[in-house]
Amino acid sequence: LIHSFIHEVQVVTTKKMQKDADDSLVTLYLKRLGLSATTVLKPNLSTLRLLTERHLEYIPFENIALHLQTKTRRKGSKANHKQNKKNDENGSKKDAIGIDIGIDPDLSPIMLSKEELIKKLLIRSQGGCCLELNGLYSMLLREIGYPSVVLVPCFVFAGKERGHRNKKAKFRVTASHFVLLVTVDAKLLNEDIISGNECTFSHPTHDRSNSFIVDVGLGEPSLWPLEYVLDKEQLSPEGMRSRMVWDRPWVDRQGTKRQCIVLEWFVEEKWEPRLQWDINDAPLILHEKYDTTLIKPKTEALTLDSFHYVIPMLLDPKSNFAKKLVVCKLTKEAKITLAGRVLKVTSPRFGESSQQVIRDLDSEDDVYTVLETEFGIKVNGKLRLPSLEYSKKSKLWTHL
């Protein structure tokens, strides 16, 4: 009997270990990104490009959870029990571990714990805001083995389309976004192609780096990682032209003197700013022509929890994120955006031949259909009508 009991324990333990392996972050991510479970993820630039491109295509930037008709209910409440019973009666679709597939209106709109991010983005196949998307992606990149993945707080350049109140577009005064600064081992970089040219990297220099700026949460970032160097135009496969430049020093609201790097893109025949970050948050190898007197790199790395202060800003009813529904995904060929009731497809995304097809959705049912067919998101609940109808003349989210 003892031997039998020990054997049963060993079997149960083995099955649990196998289940843990099956449900690992990497395995779940591969499935979510439409990649084979046997895909080899070497921590090089090729892998970083592949995963970033897939992430932007398969896991959309969206704020659906903020726009559901629901009140926060305690776990186990009568209302919650009735809803669960109704879901069961309607044959609610569940995954292997009993989690409803689709958006659960009883969940908190924005969650930053690893467990909740995995449930939301990978198991329930939802998208998320920049904190959620870049946050979980940073965990994946560390899991794969990239030597360094730094969370870099950013100031967003915003105009009316991003809810900025002033007529003139300018950088926001609070760092409400972050990008990832990912380092690739210099030896592995020899295997890769940078900016379309085969290069060998004996060591990084002022115009050649083994660090890359990665962003899967801005709404419309570059489809590929950007080499972290200054004054170098970079072309990604969708046609976006990007560069990073040295900004003049400025003083923030707290009186801190900042020296920033500005990320720009070439749009409407001119270079326009997109993001800026303090160079002390993102170490950079600089050429002697740049003034480095303000550079005092931080020794303590930021964690995802460091950005909890952004959540109340996003949930504020007056914020652009809370005012209007938006969902966006990117591919090499097209940008697909749902803003309120308006579906817009831009293809190709850049160049003289770029065209936009805009369709006003007639009903709420059309919105739900588009969410499922275009973005793979099934909504368990009802969207608030104001989120769909919000100021049709408003420019909010028209940049996507």
In this prediction, residue 167 carries a pLDDT of 60
pLDDT digits (tens, 9 = 90+) for 341-366: 999 999 999 988 999 999 999 888 99
β-partners of residue 153 are 178
pLDDT band at 44 (very low <50, low <70, confident <90, very high): very high
pLDDT digits (tens, 9 = 90+) for 299-347: 788 999 999 999 999 998 888 888 889 999 999 999 999 998 999 999 9
∠ CA(238), CA(170), CA(348), 5° rounding?
A: 15
In this prediction, residue 41 carries a pLDDT of 95
Region 375-391: what's the mean pLDDT? 78
Q: Are 140 and 27 a contacting pair, CB within 8 Å?
A: no
Q: Is the peptide bond before 225 cis (omega within 30 degrees of 0)?
A: no
- The pair of three-digit structure tokens given for residue 126, joined into one six-digit string: 């939802």
Q: How many CB atoms lie within 10 A of CB 344?
A: 17
Range with the lowest mean pLDDT among 75-79, 163-167, 188-192, 284-288? Answer: 75-79
- Tell me: pLDDT of 40 over 70: yes
In this prediction, residue 179 carries a pLDDT of 98
- Tell me: pLDDT of 217 over 90: yes
- Tell me: pLDDT of 57 over 90: yes
pLDDT band at 127 (very low <50, low <70, confident <90, very high): very high
pTM: 0.81
Mean pLDDT of the chain: 80
- The pair of three-digit structure tokens given for residue 286, joined into one six-digit string: 């600089």
Distance CA 161, CA 172 (A): 13
- The pair of three-digit structure tokens given for residue 108, joined into one six-digit string: 């908190």
The residue with greater pLDDT, 390 or 111, is 111
Residue 252 phi, psi (nearest 5): -85, -175
In this prediction, residue 169 carries a pLDDT of 75
In this prediction, residue 390 carries a pLDDT of 55
In this prediction, residue 70 carries a pLDDT of 60
- Tell me: pLDDT of 130 over 80: yes
Task: Name every residue whose Cβ is closer than 8 Å to that of residue 202 and which is 6 or more positions away in sequence.
Answer: 186
pLDDT digits (tens, 9 = 90+) for 251-264: 877 788 888 999 99
Q: The tokens 């964690």 sit on which residue?
A: 303
In this prediction, residue 100 carries a pLDDT of 38
Q: The tokens 């369709």 sit on which residue?
A: 359
pLDDT digits (tens, 9 = 90+) for 218-253: 888 999 999 999 999 999 999 999 999 998 888 877
pLDDT band at 206 (very low <50, low <70, confident <90, very high): low
Task: Name every residue whose Cβ is closer than 8 Å to that of residue 19 and which is 6 or more positions away in sequence.
Answer: none
∠ CA(64), CA(68), CA(70), 5° rounding?
A: 150
Residue 246 phi, psi (nearest 5): -80, 125
In this prediction, residue 151 carries a pLDDT of 97
